[in-house]
Structure 1
Amino acid sequence: MTEDDIYAQFARAGVAVEKLEHPAVFTVEESAAIHAALPAAHTKNLFLKDKKGGFWLVVLPSERRADLKAFAELLGAGKFSFGKPDDMERLLGVTPGAVTPLAVANAPVREVTVVFDAGFEQAERIAVHPLRNTATIALPFAALVSWLESLGHDVRIVALP
């Protein structure tokens, strides 16, 4: 699925999306100016692999530290390691730095489990990359979850430690 396909699907569903173009960013620290310019709950996206070979996309608020051991324990995943870039490209169609929950649309159904921190439920909007790290879009969190579920993907909303 392309970025334009995603925008078209949101438009057909009546979902308002605000887009901000910017220089490439690879870390949350590099994103500070974007956070100021685009009011929304910004994300940290972790592409992970469990010890059984299953893939996960864990989405945290950008300012949160990631505790992979605690996440794996809570989610019943055994042990997490970071997914390899070739798996990321094969499953999500994106490269490191551009990981986004939107990319799950490119994965075969049930190949990547998406987990959002429950804190996003309190946010009016969530900010994510649109398959590239040279733009950020903001949209209603509930609309993002509904869209992923409408494509057949498993989405879990969990209070992550």
Structure 2
Amino acid sequence: MDKPVFEKLKDMGIAYQVVEHPPAFTTEEADAYIEGLEGVRTKSMFLTNKKKTAFYLLIMDDRKQLDMELFKELVGANRIRMASSDSLMEKMSLPAGTVSIYGLLNNKEKDIQVYFDEEILSEAILTFHPNVNTKTIFVKTEDVLRFVKEIGFDYQVIQLTE
């Protein structure tokens, strides 16, 4: 499942570092395996509106708690909630626990709205699962943003205050 991610990064000339580790189902578990390495530990949240007519991928620092009411206001939605594992599989072909920016490779409809918390974009390196939870990938922030654009998605930068 991670092979297409690494192939795409190579095709795009994007350098990365990978740390292999046992399966990590939470960001806290993954953090334990990459302690001491430079990079923002990201949390990728796959969200939807009540009617499942809009889908959102939010990338933020994993130490931050999401204020769902604030996010709802920022994206102009009535109700927002975590998307179901069925929706995650349908839209990104990913099982729960492996959501990341690289899941966008599997979204042929290009119907997921991508949001980055402004706070993390000032950091040099971001970390993600490469569509499997047994590896963590470290990529320069500007390369992550270029990746999103080059695979056909726009993104918005929002300010999630604590």
Separation in structure 2 between the aligned mates of residue 61 and residue 33 of structure 1, nearest angstrom: 15
Aligned residue in 2 for 1:14: 13
Q: Which amino acid aligns with 1:6?
A: V
Using the size of structure 1 for normalisation, the TM-score is 0.92
Quote the offset at 1:109 in angstroms.
4.0
SS at match of 1:20: strand
Separation of aligned partners in 1, 2:120 and 2:41: 9
User: After superposition, where does 1:9-88 map in structure 2 within 5 Å?
Assistant: 9-52=8-51, 53-88=53-88
Distance in 1 (CA, whole Å) between partners of 2:104 and 2:12 is 18
Aligned length: 160
- Please tell me whether residue 153 in structure 1 is matched to residue 153 in structure 2: yes
- Of 58-67 and 150-159, deviating more is 150-159
Q: Structure 1: how far apart are the matches of 2:77 and 2:142?
A: 25
**2: distance between equivalents of 1:18 and 1:40?**
11
Q: Which runs of 5+ in 2 are unaligned?
A: none
Q: Deviations over 1:109-159 (max 9, x none)?
A: 431111111122211110000001111000011111111111111211211
Letter in 1 for 2:115: V
Instruction: For residues 64-110 of structure 1, give each alpha carbon's deviation from its aligned partner in whole angstroms, at most 9, with x where no partner exists.
Output: 00111111111212220110101101111111110001101111343
Q: Contact 2:56–2:114 at 8 Å: present in 1 too? A: yes
- Tell me if the contact between 2:30 and 2:136 (Cα under 8 Å) persists in the aligned partners: no
Percent of pairs with identical residues: 26
Please give the TM-score of this superposition, normalised by the length of structure 2: 0.91
Unaligned stretches of 5+ residues in structure 1? none
Cα RMSD between the aligned structures?
Answer: 1.5
Paired AA for residue 79 in structure 1 = R
Post-superposition CA distance 1:33-65 (Å, at most 9, x none): 234143211111111001352011111101000
Secondary structure of the residue that 1:36 maps to in structure 2?
A: coil
Number of the residue aligned with 1:99: 99
SS in 2 for 1:8: helix
| SS of aligned partner of 2:35 | helix
Instruction: Give, in whole Å, the separation in 1 of the partners of 2:56 and 2:67.
Output: 14
Distance 1:37 1:134, change over 3 A: farther
